[in-house]
Structure 1
Amino acid sequence: MSPLKITFLGTGTSSGVPMIACECEVCTSLDKRDNRLRSSILVQSATTTIVVDSTPDFRYQMLRAKVKHLDAIIFTHPHKDHIAGLDDVRAYNFFSHKPMNIYANEMTQMAIIREFPYAFAESKYPGVPDIQIHAIDLEPFSVGDIDIIPILVWHMQMPVLGFRFGNFTYITDANRIDLAEQEKIQGSKYIVLNALRHEKHISHFTLGEAVAMVESLKVPIAYFTHISHQLGLHAVINQELPAGMQLAYDGLMVEC
């Protein structure tokens, strides 16, 4: 697999974020790193471009990152903050004259079809999104020249897919990773892990739990994502993290 460039399109969350009405120090911060769209990454090789999840911010994320060509979207799970922007693939359909390939497990496929039934109707209205679904499970697969290893994690009782791209592992919306799946992460140089806040949460890692997981996995470089405003200011939290660990921020790029 050729070298990859990873861009964080969004590092925030819908969980517990009032946003419009909130006047806390994070929501009013002038530090751009505290300005977060919903969590997603862009994965690019020399010939292939992939997005992980189509958040409600998908259209703006694509415009902001100037993504003119997109080969596929792969999905972690069916929650609204990870699938809601899928309708906006129609712009890529228009310019490429072909369907958008999406990769999802059965549970996520069902949610997408339920959410966007007009895109899958037998008789389609002109201009609706043209989508080609590819079923995935825990078997490795490839999109273009990018090899992908799915990793099963748990979002309370919901199975969620993390993904390993070469030496880069991306996991969001999790609070448990079984030992057998942790083995798939071993040897990664980079890991991205969700860290919602300091206080215990029913279905997300806290920052402390995420730090402990990274230390257990012995991955040398870690970025934390899916961050709520309850966690605190980027500049302050970053200073408190162990060596090799930091909060991700929108627009951060990693080459691996």
Structure 2
Amino acid sequence: MTKLIILGCGSSVGSPWITNNWGKCDRKNKFNIRTRCSAFIQKGDLSILIDSSPDIKKQILDNKIKNIDYVLYTHEHSDQTSGIFELRPFFWKNKKKIDIYASSKTLRVLKKKYDYCFFGGQGYAPIIKGNLISKKFTLSKNKNKILFTSFEVEHGKTTSTAYLFNKTAYISDCNQIGREDYKKLKGLNLLILDCLKINFHPSHFNLEQAILISELVRAKKTILTNLHTDLDYNFLKKNLPKNIIPAYDKMILKI
């Protein structure tokens, strides 16, 4: 069995904000407490992290994750990458560099911003091995393996990497998907999709757009992630079609 955990489903500032602003979210509902977007895939002893958010230490501890074999990055923004230094204990535990996979753009930014993680220095050993993402690739450990397909989607003025595996798509930061790439999303069991706000946003899908894409793709189930504070959990549950569900932190999905 393969399982996917939504470690975090919040926007770049999470919910609530650091100023204790909850927006339209009911502060009494635990499902409105959202850390920054990240996900975890496990198949047997194979453990794969998608993005290392600023909240990754809490996310890993809260979900009792024991190991990380690989990290897949969607893009270079800080809300997806700034927890990279927190991965050091897995380097110490496994006595080997952590393999990360990302686009050339994301790798270039990460190597510049977190050079000590890749090259060492200032008393630190290098802990990360950067690998350029391929359109199709397999990650494995012992007898367990998962085949991935990747493609780039638009995310405002930059791009983000979408990942397909086990009839599941993870598209956490996106405002437009290429026409040809929609074909890759046909026949999905699960679509995990960006849905930032109710109103239009230049670099993320809003609620109306996310619903339209879910209907177009016809996935059996769609999970909305990257949720801002104007999207209350109960509001979404009451108003979404039955096959579209708001994510929540620590959500476990069998895929």
Q: TM-score, normalised by structure 1?
A: 0.93
Contact 1:5–1:253 at 8 Å: present in 2 too?
yes
Question: C-alpha separation between the residues in 2 aligned to 1:88 and 1:63?
Answer: 12
What is the letter of the counterpart of residue 58 of structure 1?
A: I
Question: C-alpha separation between the residues in 2 aligned to 1:61 and 1:202?
Answer: 28
Please list, as runs of the form range in 1=range in 2, the aligned pairs for 1:177-256 lying within 5 A after superposition: 177-231=177-231, 233-256=232-255
Please list, as runs of the form range in 1=range in 2, the aligned pairs for 1:96-115 lying within 5 A after superposition: 96-115=94-113
Please list, as runs of the form range in 1=range in 2, the aligned pairs for 1:67-216 lying within 5 A after superposition: 67-121=65-119, 124-137=121-134, 139-144=135-140, 145-216=145-216
Question: C-alpha separation between the residues in 1 aligned to 2:156 and 2:122?
Answer: 39
Question: C-alpha separation between the residues in 2 aligned to 1:128 and 1:224?
Answer: 38
Alignment deviations for residues 159-181 of structure 1 (CA, whole Å, 9 cap, x no partner): 21110111111101101101111
Question: C-alpha separation between the residues in 2 aligned to 1:207 and 1:245?
Answer: 11
Q: CA deviation at 1:8?
A: 0.3
Contact 1:89–1:129 at 8 Å: present in 2 too?
no
What is the root-mean-square deviation in Å for CA atoms of aligned residues? 1.7
Question: C-alpha separation between the residues in 1 aligned to 2:80 and 2:21?
Answer: 26
Aligned to 1:38: 36
Question: C-alpha separation between the residues in 2 aligned to 1:186 and 1:221?
Answer: 12
What is the letter of the counterpart of residue 213 of structure 2?
A: M
What is the letter of the counterpart of residue 82 of structure 2?
A: A
Q: CA deviation at 1:30?
A: 1.7
Contact 1:13–1:39 at 8 Å: present in 2 too?
yes
Contact 1:11–1:39 at 8 Å: present in 2 too?
yes
Corresponding residue SS for 1:230: coil
Contact 2:116–2:124 at 8 Å: present in 1 too?
no
Q: TM-score, normalised by structure 2?
A: 0.93
What is the letter of the counterpart of residue 198 of structure 2?
A: H
Q: CA deviation at 1:20?
A: 2.6
Q: CA deviation at 1:15?
A: 5.5
Contact 1:151–1:162 at 8 Å: present in 2 too?
yes
Question: C-alpha separation between the residues in 2 aligned to 1:34 and 1:131?
Answer: 33
Check 1:25–1:161 CA distance in 2 against 1; reply closer, same or farther (3 A cut): closer
What is the letter of the counterpart of residue 143 of structure 1?
A: L
Alignment deviations for residues 135-173 of structure 1 (CA, whole Å, 9 cap, x no partner): 114x11011101111032111232211101111111011
Question: C-alpha separation between the residues in 2 aligned to 1:102 and 1:62?
Answer: 17
Question: C-alpha separation between the residues in 1 aligned to 2:177 and 2:138?
Answer: 23
Question: C-alpha separation between the residues in 2 aligned to 1:245 and 1:28?
Answer: 20
Structure 2: 5+ residue stretches without partners: none
Q: CA deviation at 1:46?
A: 1.3
- Richer in strand (by share): 2
Corresponding residue SS for 1:60: helix
Check 1:66–1:127 CA distance in 2 against 1; reply closer, same or farther (3 A cut): farther
Contact 2:8–2:37 at 8 Å: present in 1 too?
yes
Question: C-alpha separation between the residues in 1 aligned to 2:31 and 2:227?
Answer: 11
What is the letter of the counterpart of residue 71 of structure 1?
A: D
Check 1:17–1:118 CA distance in 2 against 1; reply closer, same or farther (3 A cut): same
Question: C-alpha separation between the residues in 2 aligned to 1:86 and 1:23?
Answer: 27
Check 1:185–1:20 CA distance in 2 against 1; reply closer, same or farther (3 A cut): same
Alignment deviations for residues 77-118 of structure 1 (CA, whole Å, 9 cap, x no partner): 101111100001111011111111100111000111111112
